[in-house]
Structure 1
Amino acid sequence: MKIITPLLGLFLALSALACKETPKTETTTQKEVETVASEYHIPNSWIQKRVEDANKRLHATDAGKVLWSAMEAHGGLEKWYSNGYFSFHFDYKPLNGKGIRDSYQTIDTWSNKARHNSITDPSNTYGWDGEEAWVKAKDSTSFEYDTKFWALTPLYFSGQPFVLDGEGVNLELLPEVEFKGTLQKVVKATYDAGVGSAPDDYYILYINSKTNLVDAFKYIVSYPEYFPEGGHAPEKITVTQGTTTVDGIVLAKGFKTYWSAEAKDGLGEYITDINVSDISFSPTVTDNFFSKPEGAKVLND
């Protein structure tokens, strides 16, 4: 994709903010952990503990073993976290022209914090600091979509299968299916009550039996602010459109999303094209990078 001038400006601005130094050696004292956290470093000891816990938990079930194999094929959970902060341009384009969402974002994959900048005007920004959603924009037309909901949504596309490593995720191994001529291992992920902003969501991953890469996944949107009386949107299926390897992690270069249907490969109407580009990792970001900037509006009730 051709990089437009505002995006280049954004990259320069973010590059000026980001520190590229090697993370400091950690100890386990509370004081030092707090200092590390305030500087947005992820201690190696934390990473090792999280990976070990995930490995133990996932290998306790057949579904977990399949998911772990997918993580290994995509570069490994330890590498995913050790690489640091995950940045990418996510261009989400519904084919009906409504609800286009185009931003460059940096994600704290450890604690699911996020900061987005508009591609058309990088001074328009929004994010999630772990407790509050915030937005700073010139006017109401800058982001004509729910930025609170969208702050972490792209991670659940581009971060598969790693985003399913945590506690509160329930895995079920479903029967294998053939998808686009290849046998797929199928793992369904659901969430414990109270986990995340939409615990009724689910994901059904199609994991290629030959490569162990995620070829596609089905999902629903049950975000309570969209469905205050309960329920969810119809199921969709998202199909990976090529991969690239960045710092040892295999990532999708894009996706095509369809309504799920009783048709060949389960693909109904093609509804959304997603392009993912300018992918990078950084070992650290500046202090308060994910915090709301001066003049930002808090979106939480």
Structure 2
Amino acid sequence: MKFKIATLLVLSILITSCKEEPTVKKEIIQTPEFTNKGHELVSKMLEKVGNYKALRSKKDVVYTYTYQTPDGKTDISTEKYIFDAELSYGKYEKHERTLSELEGTIEQSFDGKEFWLKQNGNIVNDSIALKRVAFNRPTNFYWFTMFQKLMDKGVSYEYLGEEILNQTPYEVVKVSFNFGDSKPTDIYQLYINKKTTLVDQFLFTVADFGAMDTPNLMTLEYEDVDGMLFPTKRKYKKSTWKAAVSDDPWITVDWSNITFNNDLERSEFEK
């Protein structure tokens, strides 16, 4: 009996010791898979400005959009987006270049199913005007989320090498899109600053208007808003694919008064 008691005592000590031994958890670190160097550079750029997960965590945005052409014609709208559903609304108090034939305040929206337009609170069903809305709403949303959406499925990257512009070294990446349809899509050529990893400027086409041969060059100035970097000051004009701009004056686009997490409701985007 003494032997059995001693044996049980030893076993009890061993079991207790095993229970008290700390468990070591091994953290598995997954290395991102990149299709090429261009893809990797775009990913590193997003580490600097903030990825789409960070943007979606902010739920929604309200900001003032100001667009001015060289002849002084100006659009000023209050833009509202819900990121998760990609809902887009714009209320234009000034619209000298967008549907300028409509007097008074105009509202445009994409409610998740359809585009709609109002003039002074009344629904407008003109097909030509609605085509403009169908271009403006996704375009304005896309420009605001452009960098984050460069990691979407269907995006292709081509590393074009290094280039020095105005004594600044850049990594140049061509971005194209394949969403499974036959219509032409835009092409972007990003100039990623080697020191900051930010896109200082980029070339872009406008496929919806058939402008695929001659790109525009857009330059960017960033602002830190709620922990993310946004290119809130932009200007662009015609260029060559070597980033040699024309002598034309610049078109300017500014985003101001940016606020996130505004508790926007889907009903605000509906007719």
Shorter-chain-normalised TM-score: which range?
A: 0.7 to 0.9
Paired position in structure 1 for 2:98: none
Paired position in structure 2 for 1:8: none
Structure 2 counterparts to residues 111-150 of structure 1, below 5 A: 111-120=85-94, 124-138=106-120, 146-150=132-136
Change (3 A) 1:102 1:254: same
Tell whether 2:57 aligns with 1:79. no
Tell whether 2:235 aligns with 1:216. no
Residue of 131, 138, 143 corresponding to 1:152? 138
Paired position in structure 1 for 2:227: 248
Structure 1: stretches of 5+ with no match in the other structure:
1-54, 294-301
- For residues 215 and 113 of structure 1, the distance between their equivalents in structure 2, rounded to whole angstroms, comes to 28
Larger CA Rg, structure 1 vs 2: 2
Residue of 232, 237, 242 corresponding to 1:258? 237
Is the strand fraction higher in 1 or 2?
2
Change (3 A) 1:67 1:118: same
* Letter aligned with residue 192 of structure 1: N
Alpha-carbon deviations, 1:166-194, whole Å to 9, x = none? 11111211122223321112222211144
SS of 1:267 mapped into structure 2 = coil
Shifted more, 182-191 versus 197-206: the winner is: 197-206
Tell whether 2:220 aligns with 1:234. no
* Letter aligned with residue 44 of structure 2: S
- For residues 178 and 91 of structure 1, the distance between their equivalents in structure 2, rounded to whole angstroms, comes to 31
Q: 1:168, 1:192 within 8 Å by CA — same for their partners in 2?
A: yes
* Letter aligned with residue 108 of structure 1: I
* Letter aligned with residue 110 of structure 1: D
How many aligned residue pairs are there?
228
TM-superposed CA distance for 1:260, in Å, is 0.6
Residue of 167, 178, 181 corresponding to 1:181? 167
Alpha-carbon deviations, 1:8-42, whole Å to 9, x = none? xxxxxxxxxxxxxxxxxxxxxxxxxxxxxxxxxxx
SS of 2:161 mapped into structure 1 = strand
Q: 1:118, 1:124 within 8 Å by CA — same for their partners in 2?
A: yes
SS of 2:186 mapped into structure 1 = coil
Q: 1:79, 1:248 within 8 Å by CA — same for their partners in 2?
A: no
TM-superposed CA distance for 1:147, in Å, is 2.2
TM-superposed CA distance for 1:159, in Å, is 2.7
TM-superposed CA distance for 1:83, in Å, is 1.6
Paired position in structure 1 for 2:189: 204
Change (3 A) 1:199 1:179: same
- For residues 257 and 147 of structure 2, the distance between their equivalents in structure 1, rounded to whole angstroms, comes to 20
Report 1 or 2 for greater relative contact order, CA contacts < 8 Å, sequence distance ≥ 6: 1
Alpha-carbon deviations, 1:233-276, whole Å to 9, x = none? 73101001x3211111101221110211378x522233301122
Of all paired residues, the percent bearing the same amino acid is: 22
SS of 1:220 mapped into structure 2 = strand
- For residues 83 and 199 of structure 1, the distance between their equivalents in structure 2, rounded to whole angstroms, comes to 32
- For residues 262 and 83 of structure 1, the distance between their equivalents in structure 2, rounded to whole angstroms, comes to 36
Alpha-carbon deviations, 1:99-130, whole Å to 9, x = none? x4321111233342201111349953111223
SS of 1:289 mapped into structure 2 = helix
Change (3 A) 1:198 1:111: farther
Paired position in structure 1 for 2:148: 162
* Letter aligned with residue 105 of structure 1: E
- For residues 262 and 76 of structure 1, the distance between their equivalents in structure 2, rounded to whole angstroms, comes to 28
SS of 1:165 mapped into structure 2 = coil
Change (3 A) 1:234 1:97: farther
TM-score, length basis structure 2: 0.73
TM-superposed CA distance for 1:277, in Å, is 0.7
- For residues 217 and 92 of structure 2, the distance between their equivalents in structure 1, rounded to whole angstroms, comes to 26
